[in-house]
Structure 1
Amino acid sequence: MKKINPILRAFIPVTRGLGQMLGPDYEIVLHDISDPEQSVIAIENGHVTGRKVGAPLTDLGLYILRSEKFKDVDVVPNYMTTTSDGRILRSTTIFIRDENGKIIGFLCINYDTTKISIFKQVIEQHLTFQNLEDMAGTNHERFVSKVEELLNEAIQSVKSLAGKPLRYATKEEKISVLKKLDEKGFFLLKGAVDFLAKEMGNSKFTIYAYLREARNRSNNLV
């Protein structure tokens, strides 16, 4: 049986525990770099990459051992790797050192992002919206329980055209407001003229007259 450094041996139950806690999409791998050709001494959920105990060190592991860039590094977190069949993994490599600071092994975590990527696509699909502003001149649909609420909200939405309380607006400003309300379908609602007459301080007959003038102007533009 291969002799394992006691420090690395202490990480074998850690490997097992992490694999069981995190679940089957997380591969946990413990490497002993004293034998790069058979460095894997413990592995959980090896189906993620298809490896098992006795598998060799990766090319990244070999590079780390030869490069001065990692002399004082303890963790390389959250980098992207790809399996042989094209699945994307989110990987982290933790350096295990002896009492002298020399690297003796790696604890690696490889998360298969396939499921979460599908979930992300589903979320994005359900949170993609048609621009209602371009189609209906408004950026949202209002849900109300009473007609009065709808009438009031419609009026509030066009008050900015006059820039003042509607009862103090000029005739031209009122006609512009009526034109906008007509485009919104305001006058399809029962009681709309009475409601607007109170808001503008005019009689129903004046509102009807202004509305006819607004519609005539619109028709002349066609």
Structure 2
Amino acid sequence: MKRLHPILKAFVPMVKALAETLGPDCEVVLHDVSDPERSVVAIENGHVTGRTVGSPLTDFGLYLLRSPRFKNVDYVANYMTRTNDGRKLRSTTVFIRNEAGEVIGFLCINYDTTKAFAVKEFVEQYLKFQNLEEIAGTKEERFVSKVEELLLEAMQEIKSLTGKPLRFASKEEKLAVIKKLDEKGFFLLKGAVEMLAKELGNSKFTVYAYLREARKKGDSIMI
């Protein structure tokens, strides 16, 4: 290793520690800016950018040294850069200064976001939902352990549409209720007719008659 300024030398263990902490997708680099053509004096996980000890300072590093905008800046965090093969990096550069406040080095962290973006795409894909109401006209699918629960829930939903006990509904309202329930598959459940008959205050034979009439009238029935 070339002879380093004592302040830079103190950062060498940090390069290794950060790399072990942040993992193999994170490159950690220490630059000695006194020799821009061979500025890299310590590097871990160099496979991220393909660099080694002795590699030069980047064009952005040269810009940071020359631009007055960064005269009193301590670090630039979380900016995006790209590798030569197009991978996106999340990068941070820390300015290392001597006692006089002059920049003598950079500590750089370059995180390869390839895996992170793959996870993001996976999560977005599996959190993409179709609207059940648009597909089937119902807001949600109910998961019950007993058929009685399904019957009761269907009845409660229909009661909310009329705003009053079903036994006090008019015939047209009852026909509309039956049509809605029929569309939901209510009458495929055992005991459905008997339960509805009790709620309507009619016999099950009347419910069957209403069901035939509702199916015959089709879309002309409205609540």
Deviation per CA, 1:12-58: give whole Å up to 9, x if none.
00001111121110000011111111111100000000001111111
Name the TM-score, length of structure 1 as normaliser. 0.92
Root-mean-square deviation over aligned CA pairs: 1.8
User: In the alignment, which residue of structure 2 is the partner of 1:48?
Assistant: 48
Conservation of the 8 A alpha-carbon contact between 1:162 and 1:174? no
Conservation of the 8 A alpha-carbon contact between 2:25 and 2:111? yes
| Structure 1 spans left out of the alignment, 5+ residues | none
Name the SS for the 1:110 alignment partner.
Answer: strand
User: In the alignment, which residue of structure 2 is the partner of 1:121?
Assistant: 121
Amino acid at match of 2:18: L
After TM superposition, the structure 1 = structure 2 runs for residues 1-222 of structure 1, keeping only pairs within 5 Å, are 2-218=2-218
Stretches (4+) displaced over 4 A: none
The whole-number CA distance in structure 2 between the counterparts of 1:97 and 1:202 is 90
The whole-number CA distance in structure 1 between the counterparts of 2:50 and 2:9 is 23
1:215: how far off? 0.9
1:120: how far off? 2.0
**How many percent identity over aligned positions?**
70
| Structure 2 spans left out of the alignment, 5+ residues | none
1:103: how far off? 1.5
Amino acid at match of 1:188: L
The whole-number CA distance in structure 2 between the counterparts of 1:219 and 1:103 is 79
Name the TM-score, length of structure 2 as normaliser. 0.92
With over 3 angstroms needed to count, the CA separation of the structure-2 counterparts of 1:153 and 1:132, relative to structure 1, is same
Name the SS for the 1:159 alignment partner.
Answer: helix
Conservation of the 8 A alpha-carbon contact between 2:26 and 2:111? yes
1:203: how far off? 2.3
Name the SS for the 1:172 alignment partner.
Answer: helix
Deviation per CA, 1:126-145: give whole Å up to 9, x if none.
22223322221123221111
Conservation of the 8 A alpha-carbon contact between 1:97 and 1:104? yes
1:73: how far off? 1.7
With over 3 angstroms needed to count, the CA separation of the structure-2 counterparts of 1:32 and 1:219, relative to structure 1, is closer
The whole-number CA distance in structure 2 between the counterparts of 1:158 and 1:69 is 67
Conservation of the 8 A alpha-carbon contact between 1:161 and 1:173? no
